[in-house]
């Protein structure tokens, strides 16, 4: 089947089944183009809750589809690809949080949205990279806080808010490749460029980067917004390379240079046009969350979305 035939069949099935396709900015370019809504974790979470659809096909990684299923239990949420995991989500379990809470009964667990439903069920409030700073600032000043699982994002929050937090030792293995040396090397090659960096990056709390007037730390949606609003014509992009498709599509007169072409999440690329079509056609790979944890896991997401 040709690409155009697949696109036409997907569009027909969406109408027939009152379905939508949600896709993350890191997903395959062809999947981004067929999506009804493209976004980062926070935007997609909100869209899952408000979408007037019976079926959601979530082209991203599994924790994102879980979040959509938690928010919209009346909708059928499908993942196009089994095995689309996440090194952050896979790197922590609920047992670690339960042990911390037992030792710190008055403490607050803040979980990055890049976690499983099981982890969320032991969480007080979630955050995304887009709202992490505001969530942290809104917590009681004297609270003992455990931030999981991304040590890089956690360190960035501490550097920007001054909040004391205990950090879980996890990371996104894709963004953890982005070092200060890598960024400085690219800046030397492109001295006129703004550098747009995701806070999951290893360099996210390095003063050398944070104090550089040409470096900006953003969620993926923030990176896109800065690029669109800036008068600059050249940008170094320090996040997953899938973001370049949307950046170039929205800003044809500007140049976007990846900090490295190795910043690739292979999990995000597992969803293809063909697998999206098959998920819609067969309504397969439905995300199911056990009722014993669904309510507990929804609570910290709701707390986040209400902020």
DSSP state of 114: S
Query: Is the predicted pLDDT of residue 45 greater than 80, yes or no?
Result: no
Q: Is residue 263 a part of any domain in this protein?
A: no
Domain harbouring 137, CATH code: 3.40.50.10800
77-129 pLDDT, tens digit per residue, is 999 998 899 999 999 999 999 999 999 999 999 999 999 999 999 999 999 99
| Cβ neighbours for 75, distance < 8 A, ≥ 6 positions apart | 48, 51, 53, 54, 55, 56, 68, 69
Predicted pLDDT of residue 97 = 95
Q: Is residue 20 a part of any domain in this protein?
A: yes
pTM score? 0.95
Which residues lie across from 109 on neighbouring strands? Answer: 146
Considering the domain architecture, whether residues 241 and 182 belong to the same structural domain is answered as yes
Considering the domain architecture, whether residues 66 and 31 belong to the same structural domain is answered as yes
Considering the domain architecture, whether residues 129 and 105 belong to the same structural domain is answered as yes
**Number of domains, the chain:** 3
143-154 pLDDT, tens digit per residue, is 999 999 999 999
Q: Is residue 275 a part of any domain in this protein?
A: yes
Q: What is the mean pLDDT of residues 193-222?
A: 97
Which residues lie across from 148 on neighbouring strands? Answer: 111
Pairs from 151-158 (Cβ < 8 Å, separation ≥ 24): 152/176, 152/199, 152/200, 152/201, 152/202, 152/204, 152/205, 153/112, 153/129, 153/199, 153/200, 153/204, 155/204, 155/205, 156/132, 156/199, 156/204, 156/205, 156/217, 157/132, 157/133, 158/205
Considering the domain architecture, whether residues 63 and 133 belong to the same structural domain is answered as no
Which residues lie across from 167 on neighbouring strands? Answer: 147
Q: Which two tokens stand for residue 136?
A: 């942290």
**Buried b vs exposed e over 165-176: b needs ≥16 C-beta within 10 Å?**
bebbebbbebbb
> Residue 230 belongs to what domain range?
175-258
Considering the domain architecture, whether residues 64 and 7 belong to the same structural domain is answered as yes
Q: Is residue 187 a part of any domain in this protein?
A: yes
Considering the domain architecture, whether residues 157 and 132 belong to the same structural domain is answered as yes
Considering the domain architecture, whether residues 129 and 148 belong to the same structural domain is answered as yes
Considering the domain architecture, whether residues 113 and 167 belong to the same structural domain is answered as yes
């Amino acid at each position: 089947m040709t690409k155009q035939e697949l696109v036409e069949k997907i569009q027909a099935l969406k109408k027939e089944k009152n379905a939508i396709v949600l896709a993350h900015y890191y997903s395959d370019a062809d999947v981004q183009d067929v999506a009804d809504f493209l976004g980062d974790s926070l935007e997609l979470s909100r869209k899952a809750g408000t979408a007037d659809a019976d079926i959601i096909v979530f082209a991203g990684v599994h924790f994102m589809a879980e979040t959509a299923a938690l928010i919209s239990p009346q909708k059928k949420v499908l993942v196009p690809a089994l095995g689309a995991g996440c090194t952050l989500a896979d790197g922590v379990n609920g047992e670690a949080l339960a042990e911390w809470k037992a030792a710190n009964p008055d403490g607050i667990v803040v979980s990055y949205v890049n976690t499983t439903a099981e982890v969320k069920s032991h969480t007080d409030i979630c955050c995304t990279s887009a709202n992490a700073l505001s969530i942290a600032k809104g917590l009681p000043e004297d609270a003992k806080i455990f931030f999981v699982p991304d040590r890089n994002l956690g360190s960035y929050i501490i550097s920007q808010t001054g909040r004391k937090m205990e950090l879980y030792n996890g990371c996104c293995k894709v963004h953890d490749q982005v070092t200060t040396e890598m960024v400085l090397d690219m800046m030397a090659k492109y001295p006129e460029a703004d550098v747009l960096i995701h806070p999951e990056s290893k360099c996210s709390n390095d003063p050398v980067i944070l104090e550089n007037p040409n470096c900006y730390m953003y969620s993926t949606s923030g990176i896109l917004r800065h690029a669109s609003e800036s008068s600059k014509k050249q940008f170094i992009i320090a996040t997953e390379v899938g973001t370049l498709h949307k950046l170039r599509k929205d800003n044809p007169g500007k140049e976007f240079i990846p900090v490295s072409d190795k910043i690739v999440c292979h999990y995000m690329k597992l969803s293809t046009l063909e697998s999206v079509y098959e998920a819609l056609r067969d309504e397969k790979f439905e995300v199911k969350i056990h009722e014993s944890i669904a309510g507990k896991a929804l609570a910290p997401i709701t707390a986040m979305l209400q902020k």
